[in-house]
A and B are shown apart, each in its own frame.
Chain A
Amino acid sequence: MNALLEVKDLNVSFQGNENEKGNENEKESGTAVFYVSFSIREKETLALVGETGCGKSVVAHAIMRLLPPESRVKGTIEFGGKNLLELSEKEMTKLRGKEISIIFQNPSLALNPVYSIGHQLAEPLRIHGQEKRKGKEWKEKEERKEKVWREKEEKNEKGLKMRKNNFSNVARVLKRMGFSNPHEYMGYYPSWCSGGMNQRFLIAASTMLDPVLIIADEPSKGLDRNRVAELEIELKRLKEKSETAILLISHDLGFVRRLADRVAVMYAGEIVEIADPSSLFERPLHPYTQGLLNSLPERGFVPIPGSSPPLSSPPEGCRFHPRCPFKEKLCMQEHPELKESNGRAVRCFLCL
């Protein structure tokens, strides 16, 4: 199957955390994502898992080109034959929401509290609808300047029609998401709804224009078990019916195991293991993946000793060696490469 998205040697660093003295010249810099490469095939669900701060969300934001100005992004992100990092902001706006969309982490922060749900869900339709409309109007104005008034009337009619169409599209998507009375929910405000409902509205917004790739950034975070089960059903339905590829970012390993076709484990800004869920969960190779699975409740909450290294000064050699129970001399001296064998990839000298 063809690769829909191909990320090659993605490197993201941030500059700008002033030190204690506030000296501009002594600003700290940190590499959040360190030469990350992976691909997502059409209709595939690839999960990115790992500790908070390991760079999962930074990868997602780099793909969407939503990183702050102080970030430096290197490498290539190929999508549909184009390198997303080379597109202009105008070209990227055309792509966001229509071809690639994102479900953000926290629904209470992602939804605007002062606008109704219906208004916010229609936003992708308005943005992508307007692009076409502006082009048409400009041509019409150029060609028929003498019919200005008639054109204005036409424009109003078109706007009205478009608004009606937008709202019926929103209602259709909400109905598809299992809301029995979509017109009622369209008048609701985010504060009137539970976290689970708001999460479903965000999914509805991201699927409004049937994108080919959806990035779900920690969609189950903070939701209780019932809400997570509902979310899982939604994402499964999206996978099966809409045939959308999903980049699923989560630290909920059970959720990932049930949904993903392949899992990539990240640690301190780099991918340390990629495998299909059954081999990863049953026979993890990398010591970090083993530690991560031992932290699960069913394995007795055994923590990994120590904490992740600071991004501004990662350790020499293997980044996991200070916490690794099996480390050898080589692990402290050389940095291991991600090597593939038998359909899975691992970055560890001891597993090769």
Chain B
Amino acid sequence: MSLKAENLSRKYGSGLLGRGKCIFRDVSFELEPGKTFGLMGPSGEGKSTLGRIISGLESPTDGAVFFNGNPLSRMKKAEYTTFRRKVQMMFQDPTDAFNPRKRIKHSIFEVLNLLEISGTERIRCTKEILKTTGLPEEVLLRYPSQLSGGQLQRLALGRILLLDPEYIVLDEPTSALDVSVQAQILHLLKNVQAEQGISYLLISHDEAVIRFMSDSCGELENGQMDLIEV
């Protein structure tokens, strides 16, 4: 498995009449198996846009993302489905990641239904995820508004892990959390990586978080990405 970005550029507002504004250009990097690549930089520099492009949620204006050597834009449907399962994204605000009108168990079972897992296997998978993320079973009956940000972020990670991903794009996973919960989530992410060999692309504006988590890192500023030593 490999995931690589080559010469990615992204422009906004580049219609027929406008020249558009270039957010970043010629950004290249590779996510190595079981390692973390940290991406930092100030707000508005396109870090999240780059994360969305790597996850296939947005297209680059130039350049390409290669999954197992194949560019995303030329993938067949079956290959693309595999890519979408193997490359997941975890968002900044966990409250937005769950349906506020459904209990947590519905949001978890939604993923299991997609994987056509039902009956006792469904209960086993759910219990395993709760064990990995260190949450009690009672959270399944709660609504998102009844849980703390840390609990929701753990559940968001647990739901992603159900899909057995190879890569996770972590878009500011702890910036909405307080310091003690932030430390817990960072350690949880490290443990999951050590156990399951998942690669992370960690996006954050907090240099301390990037340095704590990453094996290699880059800084996105003024439309360019510079690799920096950790």
Contact = CB atoms under 8 A, between A and B. Distances in A.
Nearest to A297: B208
A194 B200 CA distance: 28
Contacts of A53: 148
B61 interface: no
Given A194-B43, A307-B150, A51 B181 contact: yes
A311 B3 CA distance: 44
Interface in B162-210: 175-184, 186-187, 205-206, 208-209
Interface of chain A, helix or strand or loop or mixed? loop
A83 interface: no
Nearest to B190: A301
Given A17-B146, A194-B44, A308-B148, A301 B181 contact: no
Nearest to B188: A303
Contact of B183 (A195, A224, A301): A301
A305 B183 CA distance: 10
Given A194-B44, A301-B186, A308-B148, A52 B178 contact: yes
A204 to B, nearest CB: 21
B212 A297 contact: yes
A222 B209 CA distance: 15
A348 B84 CA distance: 51
B42 interface: yes
A315 interface: no
Contacts of B175: 222
B125 to A, nearest CB: 21
**Chain B interface size, under 10 / 10 to 19 / 20 to 34 / 35 or more:** 20 to 34
A301 B148 contact: no
B141 interface: yes
Interface string A8-22: 000000000100100
Contacts of B182: 295, 301
Nearest to B138: A310
Nearest to A302: B183
A308 to B, nearest CB: 7
Contacts of B180: 51, 291-292, 295, 303-304
B149 interface: yes
B176 A221 contact: yes
A298 B177 contact: no
A281 to B, nearest CB: 13
Contact of A222 (B148, B176, B179, B184): B176
Contacts, number: 71
Interface string A40-75: 000000000011110000000000000000000000
Contacts of B179: 251-253, 292, 295-296
Counting chain B CB atoms within 10 Å of each CB, the highest count among A17, A52, A53, A195 belongs to A52
Nearest to A301: B183
Nearest to B179: A295
B151 interface: yes
Contacts of A195: 43
A216 B42 CA distance: 24
Interface string B147-167: 011110000000000000000
A75 B59 CA distance: 57
A226 interface: yes
A50 to B, nearest CB: 8
Nearest to A291: B180
A344 interface: no
A227 interface: yes
A225 interface: yes
Given A221-B176, A222-B175, A52 B149 contact: yes
Interface in B49-63: none
B181 A224 contact: no
Given A224-B43, A227-B43, A303-B180, A297 B209 contact: yes
Contacts of A296: 179
A10 B178 CA distance: 24
A226 B43 CA distance: 9
B212 A307 contact: no
Interface string A222-259: 10111100000000000000000000000111000000
Contacts of B44: 194
Interface in A300-352: 300-304, 307-308, 310
Contacts of B183: 295, 301-304
A121 to B, nearest CB: 24
A300 B42 CA distance: 23
Going nearest first, the 4 A-B pairs with the smallest beta carbon separation are A251-B178, A297-B208, A303-B183, A295-B183
Given A226-B42, A307-B148, 19 more contacts: A20-B141, A50-B178, A51-B181, A52-B149, A194-B43, A195-B43, A224-B42, A225-B205, A253-B179, A292-B180, A295-B179, A296-B179, A301-B183, A301-B186, A301-B212, A302-B183, A303-B186, A307-B134, A307-B150
13 contacts: A17-B146, A20-B141, A51-B181, A52-B150, A52-B181, A194-B43, A224-B42, A225-B42, A292-B180, A301-B183, A303-B184, A303-B186, A304-B184
